[in-house]
């Protein structure tokens, strides 16, 4: 069941939800969730790739004693319908504990694409993931721009994510196809 009082609930963003905020929110706060690591392991057929040439976007993989930092938003329940549609390519809602910097904690929703979904790509050598991102694009733009925007958004939050930043370093050695 979605945890909510009568008018709002918290959602936790760790990927495009950090920087692409195309929904109204009542409040937003840097936050983290425990036991998950951010990885470019999900295929994208609808945003950063195409059905016959999927891109690679982030999902969360379970890992003990790791925290994933991102941004939490307090939203009206109707926002979930918008996000269910926006992130329909393999992501499902999970209820999780969300921790805020001031030691406050709440239950909330996070979207995760597990290894059981059809679009899941999983792990690969980092240079292969980078090359995959470099060549992919879809209706929402280039996969490269997605990675660079996410890296910038994490830096703005003072979050160091070695997986994302190592991919960014590899990608920045190659020229942009589309000026970004």
Q: Which residues of 88-122 are buried (b: 16+ CB within 10 A; e: fewer)?
A: ebbbebeebebbeeeeeebebbbbbbeeeeebebe
Map residues 86-105 to x or -, x wherever contact with ligand BEZ holds by CB under 6 A: -x---x--------------
170: tokens are: 């590899």
Q: Are 51 and 62 in contact (CB under 8 A)?
A: no
Catalytic residue list contains 87: yes
Catalytic residue among 27, 81, 87, 97: 87
Q: How far apart are CA 140 and CA 49, in angstroms?
A: 8
Task: State yes or no: residue 73 binds ligand BEZ (CB under 6 A).
Answer: no
Query: Any contact of residue 17 with ligand BEZ (CB under 6 A)?
Result: yes
Q: Which of 111, 132, 148, 154 binds ligand BEZ (CB under 6 A)?
A: 111
Q: Which of 9, 10, 13, 74 binds ligand BEZ (CB under 6 A)?
A: 13
Please give the C-alpha separations between residue 171 and each of 6, 44, 93, 96, 137, in angstroms, as whole numbers. 45, 18, 31, 32, 14
Of 127 and 152, which CB lies nearer to ligand BEZ in the complex structure? 152
Shortest CB 60 distance to ligand BEZ, Å:
8
Residues at the interface with ligand BEZ (CB under 6 A): 13-18, 58, 87, 91, 111
């Amino acid at each position: 069941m979605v945890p909510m009082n009568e008018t709002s609930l918290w959602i936790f963003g760790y990927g495009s939800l950090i920087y692409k905020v195309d929904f109204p929110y009542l409040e937003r706060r840097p936050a983290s969730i425990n036991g998950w690591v951010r990885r470019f392991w999900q295929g994208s057929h609808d945003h950063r790739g195409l059905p016959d040439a999927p891109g690679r976007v982030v999902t969360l993989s379970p890992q003990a004693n790791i925290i994933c930092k991102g941004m939490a938003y307090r939203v009206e329940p109707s926002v979930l319908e918008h996000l269910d549609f926006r992130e329909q390519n393999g992501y499902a809602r999970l209820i999780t504990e969300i921790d805020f910097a001031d030691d406050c904690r709440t239950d909330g929703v996070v979207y995760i694409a597990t290894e059981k979904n059809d679009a899941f790509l999983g792990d690969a050598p980092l240079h292969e993931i980078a090359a995959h991102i470099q060549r992919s694009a879809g209706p929402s733009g280039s996969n490269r721009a997605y990675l660079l925007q996410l890296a910038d958004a994490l830096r703005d939050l003072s979050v160091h994510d070695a997986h994302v930043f190592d991919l960014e370093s590899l990608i920045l050695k190659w020229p942009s196809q589309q000026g970004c």
